[in-house]
């Protein structure tokens, strides 16, 4: 049974990770940075803001020296990662599809900017026909409801990976989740309750919408799914959180991430996915890669490199 939680409790739980990170506001972007044609479809990226994640949370198994050796050559800070949040939008003749829905107003202060940036891109939430989820972490799903717990995308149909729905709703999930992530469970259940009358369930390998193929990328969460978009002989992979950092995920995909629920599986999934991206020369858009998150991957020795563009 879904567990009720007050707005005050939800805010307090969701803030546990962010509050230790020394949050600083990052200006919201007013419009997509880029869009391009994919066959008859238009794909664009809209910012939901950014997050701040303490390094002790992201890379708990790595020493400060290892982290510094990896990040400092790229001019990156070593106290925390501050990833962008990039929501992919696909527009066709008869559909307006969002891949994930952003964080909404109850997560970190630097996130939850999707609404104003959709407006800047000329997109009315009422025109969204489909919302497709990679997984049910707060920064991907909490934005489906507003401050009054009403659906933001009032006319949309929702597509949720079956394994993801089953996991977050399982009777023992809340009990087994670490204290700092219990609000993730309650928040996912509340959002699922809000959309359950308009949900279709996804299994990897399905074509869930015309030209949209579900790809199994479990590990970050038990039901995490990425989406390969096809059109006009081209393709683009919406990776969600299967790949999360422009340096760490590419240069050390084998490093276990504290953001992954199954750390070993998450690392294995990253390596397999990067192999596929390189082999197929796929263009990708990463939810947490530098805005707008578009590019591809190249192999460099035993590692990989992100090439923006």
Mean pLDDT by 10 residues, the chain (309 residues): 37 39 36 75 95 96 97 96 97 97 94 94 96 98 93 97 98 94 96 96 97 97 97 93 98 97 97 96 96 95 94
Given this model, what pLDDT does residue 37 score?
Answer: 87
Given this model, what pLDDT does residue 64 score?
Answer: 97
Question: What span, in angstroms and rounded, lies between the C-alpha atoms of 260 and 273?
Answer: 15
Strand order through the sheet with 283-286: 207-209, 212-216, 225-231, 234-240, 283-286, 294-300, 303-308
Given this model, what pLDDT does residue 30 score?
Answer: 42
Question: In angstroms, how far apart are the furthest CA atoms of the chain?
Answer: 52
- CB burial of 104-143 (b: ≥16 within 10 Å; e: otherwise) equals bebbbebbbbbbbbbebbebebeebbbbbbbbbbbbbbbb
Given this model, what pLDDT does residue 34 score?
Answer: 72
Q: CB of 61 within 8 A of CB of 255? A: yes
Q: CB of 290 within 8 A of CB of 282? A: no
Question: What span, in angstroms and rounded, lies between the C-alpha atoms of 118 and 171?
Answer: 36
Structure tokens at 171: 């009777």
Q: CB of 254 within 8 A of CB of 271? A: yes
- Scanning the chain, the segments in alpha helix (DSSP H) are 7-19, 55-58, 64-71, 114-120, 138-141, 162-169, 173-176, 182-195, 248-251, 263-280
The SS3 call for residue 209 is strand
Q: What is the sign, positive or negative, of the torsion defined by CA atoms of 300, 213, 194, 48?
A: positive
The CATH code belonging to domain 7-308 is 3.60.15.10
Tokens 């020493």 correspond to 63
* Per-domain boundaries in the chain: 7-308
Q: Which of 307, 294, 291 is nearest to 84 (CA)?
A: 291
Q: CB of 202 within 8 A of CB of 161? A: yes
Whether the link from the prior residue into 292 is cis, omega within 30° of 0, is: yes
Given this model, what pLDDT does residue 3 score?
Answer: 34
User: What are residue 212's DSSP bridge partners?
Assistant: 209, 229
Q: What string of DSSP letters covers 7-54?
A: HHHHHHHHHHHHHTT-----PPPSS-S-EEEETTEEEEEEEEEE--EE
Given this model, what pLDDT does residue 18 score?
Answer: 40
């Amino acid at each position: 049974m879904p567990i009720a939680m007050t707005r005050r409790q939800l805010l307090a739980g969701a803030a546990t990770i962010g509050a230790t990170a020394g949050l600083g506001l990052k200006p919201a972007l007013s419009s997509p940075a880029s869009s391009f044609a994919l066959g008859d479809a238009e794909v664009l990226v809209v910012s939901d803001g950014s997050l701040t994640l303490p390094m002790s949370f992201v890379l708990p198994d790595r020493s400060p020296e290892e982290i510094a050796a990896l990040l400092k050559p790229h001019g990156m800070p070593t106290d925390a990662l501050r990833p962008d949040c990039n929501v992919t939008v696909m527009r066709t003749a008869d559909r307006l599809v969002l891949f994930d829905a952003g964080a909404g107003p109850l997560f970190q202060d630097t996130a939850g900017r999707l609404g104003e940036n959709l407006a800047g891109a000329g997109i009315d939430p009422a025109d969204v026909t489909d919302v497709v989820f990679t997984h049910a972490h707060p920064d991907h799903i909490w934005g489906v409801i507003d401050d009054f717990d009403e659906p933001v995308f009032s006319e949309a149909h929702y597509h949720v990976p079956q394994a993801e729905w089953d996991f977050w709703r399982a009777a023992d999930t809340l009990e087994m989740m670490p204290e700092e992530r219990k609000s993730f469970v309650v928040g996912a259940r509340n959002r699922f309750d809000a959309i359950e009358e308009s949900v279709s369930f996804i299994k990897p390998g399905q074509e869930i919408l015309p030209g949209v193929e579900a790809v199994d990328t479990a590990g970050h969460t038990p039901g995490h799914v990425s989406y390969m978009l096809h059109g006009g002989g081209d393709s683009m992979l919406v990776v969600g959180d299967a790949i999360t950092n422009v340096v760490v995920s590419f240069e050390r995909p084998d490093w276990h991430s504290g953001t992954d629920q199954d750390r070993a599986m998450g690392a294995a999934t990253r390596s397999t996915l990067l192999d596929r991206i390189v082999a197929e020369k796929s263009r990708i858009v990463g939810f947490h890669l530098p805005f707008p998150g578009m590019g591809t991957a190249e192999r460099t020795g035993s590692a990989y490199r992100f090439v923006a563009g």
